[in-house]
Structure 1
Amino acid sequence: MTTTQHSMEHTAQALVASGKGILAADESTPTMAKRLAGIGVESTEPTRRAYRELLFTTEGLGDYISGVILFDETIRQRCDDGRPFAEVLSAAGIVPGIKVDAGTKPLAGFADEVVTDGLDGLRGRMEEYVSLGARFAKWRAVLRIGDNRPTATCIEANAHALARYAALAQEAGLVPIVEPEVLMDGTHSVERCAEVTADVLRAVYDHLARHRVRLEATLLKPNMVLAGTDSPDQADDEAVAVRTLEVLRRAVPAAVPGIVFLSGGQTDEQATSRLDAINRHPPQPWELSFSFGRALQGPVLRAWAGEDANRAAAQAALVNRAALNGAARYGSYRPEMEASSA
């Protein structure tokens, strides 16, 4: 094993350390504008920078957060004292990462299906992100369940792009987080979600193998297996856990060190409770962790409301939410902890 491979494997293991998970703070500028609009705040570069500084300078964040995924704008920003955000995170024992995809584009010839863009020039961008302090990367693919969707072509196109990205990331010395998200939107059953998620994951790992990606230096960021948001038959947390683990054990190689679930459209409490239910089924071949965006940041935005006077309350909300998810890593989260933390 080369020194670079050893370093990447060490980083991957650090990102799924016991009791910790990843904060996804990689919202694009348009997405961040929507989040800020929800609390009545205009999205400007200084406002976005101030909000991200609030997140990254939270005392005690490193007790529950192992890594933070940054956006291109964010990895170039600095705190008021001049320190780059990546440096601030590293000093707190948190691994800086970077979102490298360019969002989704329509898949030509396939109505209502998309493929993720951003492979052009990615090798050069990876090298720059390494120089800016990044130690891992993330690329998101999006697949929708519907009438005759996703098609085999859509699954293959996104799996191929994920594998090419992952190979380029490892070439640059970055740990790739591979994120094939099967969206919650729709009326589909939990059984249909399980079927599609398994098909997608099998295709992804087939393409990763073809591109000689070292699985020990990767992480998987999948959806949990859930019924569509408009389905009348919603599964309870235990059923979600069982279905999710069944799919993962059939489709994800044991060489992968960790699985960091996305929160998708779940509420803060749902994401935490379901992660907890999943972790009550040991042993599994991988660490089962989280890489949450909205499910960690929602309480922070509401507490902050764009007011500097609310900074301490917002940071307390972040630590509380992170701690609850840290407990879910051990399967020791309880619903009554929500009231005590509030």
Structure 2
Amino acid sequence: MARVTINMIAEKAGVSRGTVDRVLNNRSYVKADVKERVLKIAKQMGYVSQREIHLREREQEYKPLRLGVLLPSFGFGPQFHEGVGAGIREAQDELENANVEIRVKMCRTDLPEEAAGLLKEFLQEEIEGLSVCLPQDPSIEKALREMKEANIPIVTFNSDLPDSGRVLFVGQDIIQSGRLAAQIMYNCLRPGEQVLAAVGDMKFDGHLRRYQGFSGRMAELGFPPQDIFTAETFNDYSTTLRVIGEALRSHPDLGGIYMANLSVTACAEAVRTCGREGKVHVICHDINDGIRRLLKEGRVDFTIPQDFVRQGREPLIWLVSYLRKKELPDAERFNDLQILCAENIGPDRTDRQ
């Protein structure tokens, strides 16, 4: 609906623009009946003066906001929590003088009921926006939809919840990152070699979509689907070491391991223990000191990093922008993909974690 102007009021009231201006600014030299008629018409038409608009904008800009952040358990890995935690602190520093309170909760388990309970706590605490990274589960998505119905905007990060009613996802194009890993892996393999795709937990949208992107691209390239083996490791070092060790011993033609999860050091150790170093290509995601060392040692071939700090910071900054100005970024701005190997990680840390 178009904003009501002085000219529109003047036309409806049958007076000049100057008369309307004098009435609205409470100036003299206007007859009482004309003043009453102009004010009545202005009210009926929903006129708002520039001064009122400015005051409302300033009031909205500095209105106190309470935001919530819900993080997954420590099973998601220290690298994730350190980076995201740093991003949250960056946002807190940036919003320190903007009248914004940020409350952070973290799941102690991977049980959906716990996450749903923490979401209900946030509702009781009357938060006005939520940043969240959680697994896909009906009880979690139901709790998030209840928040949406309460007019609480939700931003997901790292692992998306497409059915949650969220207004924005901050993270990589997860399917595309899996497809990129597949293209690299395919180019590394020799004819007849097989691949193990190790996934943390298929309940997390990020892990599932990475695998879907990887397997989909491998199929497009003509790689036999029966030569891709899949295993869940739940981001646990011991489980990863055992599962990958068993796969290496059971499949002598295994020529590649795709780590769509954490515990890359456990994967490298399993390859070493089985005497397969230099014979099995390892492609993973993310970057930390351990992965950087493995790249330099030639025990990991390539990694596709992501910026956990940004994933902690951006949802909070954009929630404030959305709540105060109804502004959101183009989701494409978060979809940058990089490939790192021993030749381009550099002598110093290149990531922000």
The TM-score with structure 2 as length reference comes to 0.33
Pick the structure with greater CA Rg.
Answer: 2
The TM-score with structure 1 as length reference comes to 0.34
